[in-house]
Amino acid sequence: MQQYINIYRRLLKINFAELLAYRANFISHLISSCCWTLFQIIWINLLTYKNQSIFGWKKEDLIILTISYVILSGFHHCFLSKNFRELAKIIDYGQLDSYLVKPVDEQFLLSLTKVEYSQLARFLLGTVALIVTLSKFQIYPSLIQILSYIFLMGFGLVTIYSIWLLLSSLMIWYPQINNLVGFLFDLTGVSRYPKEMILKTNNYAIFFFLPITLIAAAPSRYLFNKAITGDTFLLVLECGVLFIISRLFWKFSLRFYTSAS
């Protein structure tokens, strides 16, 4: 609806104004996001330092997988993640009411109000690292493959959002667990590992994490030309299912909040 587009345009402007008002903070966060991007790149390079091929994935494929995760997290941290940290504070300080009394879907406001432009550095650095890695290992994906990659990354992003929303709704039931968001960062980090790694262990407890492993892996496969249609389809399906379930559970949690306050 037009109204929501207007509201979001205004939100993008107001967040940009805030960036300009608090420039030192922006630079500091920019440095921070660059450091964490570098960390991820060093992480995967150290782990694959001595290993050329693991559970069916080549070293360069794993590096591309981690970099795809970095790019996804860039978007996620820029447009979404700060709102979940704010949600913890909003619930804690009893300010949820002021969102519920507005004539606009509160999930929309609570998910999108804050934008951290400094986190786009992850996206930029990640893209550079991706191009460097692709050329270093002489992988040249076609235009269709690149477009498929971008398209699927979109589904991956919505999947991450849905998982965060689903678990963050628990904060309404247990307001004291405002450190849940920190845990969610690590949970999302599981998408750096491909599902083949988990399947290989035969440890049924971990199978629970399989849906997360599709998020970055399914798109990445398009880049090094090993796409599995099954995985692609599963990611799209899981995205839709999780989005609906997360919204339902969010609404259900709100009913609890408004009954118990």
Partner 1 sequence: MSIIQVENLSKSFKSYKKAPGLIGSFKSFFKRKYYEKKAVNNISFNIEEGELIGFIGPNGAGKTTTLKCLSGLIYPTSGKVSVLGYNPFERKSDFLKQISLVMGQKNQLWWDLPPMETFLLNKEIYGVNNKDFEDNLEELAELMEVKDVLNVQVRKLSLGQRMKCELISQMIHKPKVLFLDEPTIGLDVVMQQRLRKFIRTYNQRYHATIILTSHYMEDVEALCKRVIIIDYGKKIYDGELTTIAQKFSQHKIITIVFNKQIVRKDIENLGVVKFFDFPKAAILVKREEANKILSQILNEFPVADINIQEQDIQKIIREIFTSGII
Partner 2 sequence: MRALRIFLLHCQRIFEYRLKSFIWFLAPLMNSIFLIVFWRAALNGKSTVTGWTMSDMTAYYLLLAVASTFLNSHVEDGVADEDIRQGDLARFLLKPISYYWIKFCEETPYRLLQCVYGIIFVLISTLVWGNFLKFSLSIENTILFIMIVVLAYFISFTYKLSLGLTAFWFKDAKGLHSALDVVALIFGGAILPIQLFPDYLQKIAYLTPFPYIIYYPITAFQNKYSINILFQIIGFQFFWLSIMLIFNRVLWNKGIKIFTAAGR
92 contacts which partner out of partner 1, partner 2, none, CB within 5 to 8 A by kind? Answer: none
The string of DSSP codes covering the chain is -HHHHHHHHHHHHHHHHHHHHTHHHHHHHHHHHHHHHHHHHHHHHHHTSS-SEETTEEHHHHHHHHHHHHHHHHHHIIIIIHHHHHHHHHHHTT-HHHHHTSSS-HHHHHHHS---GGGHHHHHHHHHHHHHHHHHTT----HHHHHHHHHHHHHHHHHHHHHHHHHHTHHHH-TT-TTHHHHHHHHHHGGGS-HHHHHTTT-GGGGGGHHHHHHHHHHHHHHTT---HHHHHHHHHHHHHHHHHHHHHHHHHHHHHHHH-
Taking the least distance from each CB to partner 2, the nearer of 23 and 140 is: 23
For residue 260, state whether it binds partner 1 (rule: CB under 8 A).
yes
CB of 94 or CB of 182, closer to partner 1: 94
Q: How far is the CB of 221 from partner 2 (least distance, A)?
A: 18
Residues 96-155 that bind partner 1 (CB under 8 A): 97-98, 100-104, 109
CB nearer to partner 2: pick between 141 and 189: 189
Choose the contact partner of 258 out of partner 2, partner 1, none; CB within 5 to 8 A by kind.
Answer: partner 1
Q: Which of residues 46-105 bind partner 1 (CB under 8 A)?
A: 95, 97-98, 100-104
Say how many residues touch partner 2, by CB under 8 A: 44
| Sign of the torsion angle spanned by Cα atoms 156, 213, 55, 36 | positive
Among the listed ranges 38-46, 157-165, 232-240, 246-254, the one in contact with partner 2 (CB under 8 A) is 38-46
| Residue 170 C-beta: closest distance to partner 1, Å | 18
What would you report as the CA-atom Rg of the chain, rounded to the nearest whole angstrom?
A: 19
Closer to partner 2 by CB, 88 or 134: give it. Answer: 88
Instruction: Figure out which of the listed residues 6, 201, 225, 258 binds partner 2, where binding follows CB under 8 A.
Output: 201
CB of 24 to partner 2, least distance (A): 6
**Residue (51 or 135) nearer to partner 2, CB:** 51
Nearer to partner 2, 157 or 198 (CB): 198
* SS3 per-residue string spanning 16-76: HHHHHHCHHHHHHHHHHHHHHHHHHHHHHHHHCCCCCEECCEEHHHHHHHHHHHHHHHHHH
Question: Whole-number minimum distance, CB 181 to partner 1, in Å?
Answer: 21
User: What gap in Å lies between CA 212 and CA 241, rounded to an integer?
Assistant: 13
Site residues (vs partner 1, CB under 8 A) = 3, 6-7, 10-11, 14, 17-18, 21-22, 95, 97-98, 100-104, 109, 255, 258-261
Site residues (vs partner 2, CB under 8 A) = 24-25, 27-33, 35-36, 38-39, 42-43, 46-47, 49-51, 54-55, 174, 176-180, 182-183, 185-187, 189-190, 193, 196-198, 200-201, 203, 205-206
